[in-house]
Structure 1
Amino acid sequence: MTSHWTAAHVAAIDRETMACAPLFPKPQPLIPGVDLWDYWPVQEEDGSQAVIAGGTLFILLSAPTLLDPEARHGMARLRLMHRVGNVWRDLGLLFENGFSPGSREWSGSAIVSGDHDHITLYYTVAGTRGEQVLSYSQRLFETQAALSVVGNAITLSAWSTPVEMLVPDGIDYMRDMEGGGAIGTIKAFRDPAFFRDPADGAAYVFFAASLARSASFWNGAVGMARLMPDGQWQRLPPLISADGLNNELERPHVIVHGGRYYLFWSTQQKVFADGGPTGPNGLYGMTSDSLDGPWRPINGTGLAFANPPRAPFQAYSWFVLPDLTVQSFADMIGIAHVPVDPAEARHHFGGAPAPDLRLQIEGDRVWLA
């Protein structure tokens, strides 16, 4: 059953009373000369952060620092880092040059085995290898590497040949990802997030998608697939539809809290439908008593919290863990408008992890602790 996030839900957002994240200063780069954004921890199958070598392994999108920070999307490579407390250690690019079957690597999720001897990565391959002009095709792949930890030394073996998990069918999910190519118009088949359902032990991935049979340009959705006994992923109908409302429901992921399911995603004001109600850049979500739904917008609107009004682009790509920690990256810091000039954008771009936040949840209500 597909549930719907609608204009009526978003119209009920009260900009005067909505929950907002606190302001924070522009962080120092973790790696000089490198921008970092969308990131996720290596997780146990229950979704908790895995403790590895006394800390947490993270996979991040990375690119060389360029004048225009928006150019990073066309150069994105996955990077491995290790955090102990507030200290980050760079372990380098995750893959060798030419490993992925695309021109760049986008977001996903990673799960460590129960005995911590290997990691499975689910990620987005964007474009095609060797293309001269960047395309916006998106494919979902999985790969594995053996993990070895000796003291503080963390070693990964060569990654297995990436295997495509599933493809859009042109019936539920759009095949054409281009959407004109401009920021905010690109269609979605990306951001696979692994989830093990405690109710029956079944494994799923959720992903950002675009509806195939839609009369609207704004046809964002949350897709899902289930892992079958033969090891193949079975494509399922969309879990959430934002048809006619919003173009991109990015990095969707599910946690279980208090016996309920909570599905979260990130979206931006600029990708809401023209002429309709718009929400702020923020963390959104829905809740259900079962994975099958029906799903209800948290807080009646879907909005968990927004960036602060004085800095509406301060952070993005929020990721909620089962302990209700919320991770994100520092985007445009200390600015209330979208920079047009690349030099201005570079001055304000954070390009590093943002401070962690924490949610509180009670039934359909979600708020910042």
Structure 2
Amino acid sequence: MAYGDVWDMWQLAWSDGVTFEAHGRQLWFFLATPILADPEDRHDIARIRMASLGFDGWRDHGWVFPVGWTPGSREWSGCSVLDDDGRTVTIYFTATGRRGGHLTFEQRLFETRGSLDFANGEPVLSGWTPPVESVAADGVYYKVADQAVAPRRGIWAFRDPSFFIDPTDGEEHLLFSGSAGWTDDDLDGVIGVATRTDGRWQLRPPLVEAIGVNSELERPHVIHRDGRYYLFWSSHGRRHAPMLGAPTGLYGMVAERFSGPWRPVNGSGLVAANPVESPFQAYCWWVTAEGAVLSFVDYPGATGHEPPKDPAKRRALFGGTVAPNFHLRFDGETVLPVVTGAPVP
């Protein structure tokens, strides 16, 4: 990648989850910023940027949306879906804060549609429709994530929309990272879901609850493989209950139906983790329908329970680029990494 710091990523996929490819390249979307003195400040100005991946590596293709066009003060993670016409792209994303307002940690789910074209083999996105709020938190199943200041225990969540169409019945679902609306427990993480009914997204009860266990189940997404449903998410070790000693890693569950019941893969739910000696090595693993896994280089070499407190040390350690990829081997309830080091295609 030739641009600044990049992190949370997702690919352009057909509605069935299969990764789109054209001219020998896949299209990927990242959160991105210029290189800042303190990499933790990136969350306050993040925007979505597009890149492509082929056997010759990465190419940068610039910002997805015009400056100041989306309804938040910054853009956080989502997903990108290509219609069957091969041209219409829907991007689901998190609008964080309010455009032109004070910095807050309010999170809302939005979607917009545009057109994908190619000019001399280079992808071009244009013609975005005005962003529409997909679905709003109800305060019952899901807390309204409207905090002005980030508490030490972590902010509430209503973010990271991910589209999934169930191949067995054609129902369309939107997964997201949420905070349970019915508890005051600091460990209130859930994986939320909305289902499209009569053309509108309708909130449903969470697919997975982690009350008393974890406060952040981030970037949830489902793939359908070998007749089973696999649900994946990422979580920081420090967001788990301390007595668990759970690592920062990629976690997952499996079910025979989208509605569940969901069972932890590998017995524990852990699919891949950072090494003990480098607990912040990578983060935000994204699993494609083909079983490829991408993440970003976070703070390799950092130790302890938190990233370094000194901004200069954080800057010196922060990767802000794509981590080495790997693939997963699926065997029913067992999902294990297979390291390849080769480009994803």
Please give the per-residue CA displacement for 1:262-284, whole angstroms capped at 9, x wherever unaligned.
1000001111135x313100000
Which residue in 2 is equivalent to 1:216?
A: 185
Which residue in 2 is equivalent to 1:31?
A: 2
Which residue in 2 is equivalent to 1:359?
A: 328
1:69, 1:153 → 2: CA distance?
30
Asked if 1:148 corresponds to 2:148, the answer is: no
Which residue in 2 is equivalent to 1:251?
A: 219
1:327, 1:57 → 2: CA distance?
13
The SS at the match of 1:335 is: coil
Asked if 1:242 corresponds to 2:213, the answer is: no
Which residue in 2 is equivalent to 1:343?
A: 312
2:154, 2:122 → 1: CA distance?
43
Structure 2 gap segments, 5+ residues each: 339-345
Aligned residue type for 2:201: W
Aligned residue type for 1:237: P
Q: Is the 8 A contact 2:2 2:59 kept in 1?
A: no
Q: Please report how far the alpha carbon of residue 150 of structure 1 lies from its aligned counterpart in structure 2 after TM superposition.
A: 4.0
1:143, 1:242 → 2: CA distance?
31
Asked if 1:174 corresponds to 2:135, the answer is: no
Query: Which has the higher mean CA deviation after the structures are superposed, 338-347 or 171-180?
Result: 171-180
1:297, 1:156 → 2: CA distance?
38
1:125, 1:72 → 2: CA distance?
15
Asked if 1:84 corresponds to 2:51, the answer is: no
> Which of 266, 276, 289 matches 1:309?
276
Asked if 1:41 corresponds to 2:47, the answer is: no
2:126, 2:145 → 1: CA distance?
35
Asked if 1:165 corresponds to 2:134, the answer is: yes
Q: Please report how far the alpha carbon of residue 151 of structure 1 lies from its aligned counterpart in structure 2 after TM superposition.
A: 3.7
Asked if 1:188 corresponds to 2:145, the answer is: no
1:202, 1:211 → 2: CA distance?
24
Higher relative contact order (CA 8 A, sep 6+): 1
Aligned residue type for 1:302: G
Q: Please report how far the alpha carbon of residue 128 of structure 1 lies from its aligned counterpart in structure 2 after TM superposition.
A: 0.5
Paired residues, what number? Answer: 336
Which residue in 1 is equivalent to 2:251?
A: 284
Query: Which has the higher mean CA deviation after the structures are superposed, 179-188 or 134-143?
Result: 179-188
Normalising by structure 1, what TM-score? Answer: 0.88
The SS at the match of 1:73 is: helix
2:266, 2:146 → 1: CA distance?
32
Q: Is the 8 A contact 2:178 2:191 kept in 1?
A: yes
Q: Please report how far the alpha carbon of residue 316 of structure 1 lies from its aligned counterpart in structure 2 after TM superposition.
A: 0.5
CA RMSD of aligned residues (A): 1.4
Q: Is the 8 A contact 1:177 1:188 kept in 2?
A: no
Q: Please report how far the alpha carbon of residue 179 of structure 1 lies from its aligned counterpart in structure 2 after TM superposition.
A: 8.4
1:303, 1:155 → 2: CA distance?
38
Which residue in 1 is equivalent to 2:264?
A: 297
2:39, 2:153 → 1: CA distance?
15
2:90, 2:22 → 1: CA distance?
15
Q: Please report how far the alpha carbon of residue 184 of structure 1 lies from its aligned counterpart in structure 2 after TM superposition.
A: 4.9
1:52, 1:177 → 2: CA distance?
40
Please give the per-residue CA displacement for 1:99-152, whole angstroms capped at 9, x wherever unaligned.
0111000000001111211111000000001113x1001000000111112441
1:40, 1:303 → 2: CA distance?
21
1:266, 1:336 → 2: CA distance?
19
Aligned residue type for 1:63: T
Q: Is the 8 A contact 1:219 1:242 kept in 2?
A: yes
The SS at the match of 1:299 is: coil
Asked if 1:66 corresponds to 2:33, the answer is: no
Which residue in 1 is equivalent to 2:343?
A: none
The SS at the match of 1:173 is: coil
Change (3 A) 1:92 1:153: same
2:5, 2:89 → 1: CA distance?
25
1:292, 1:208 → 2: CA distance?
17
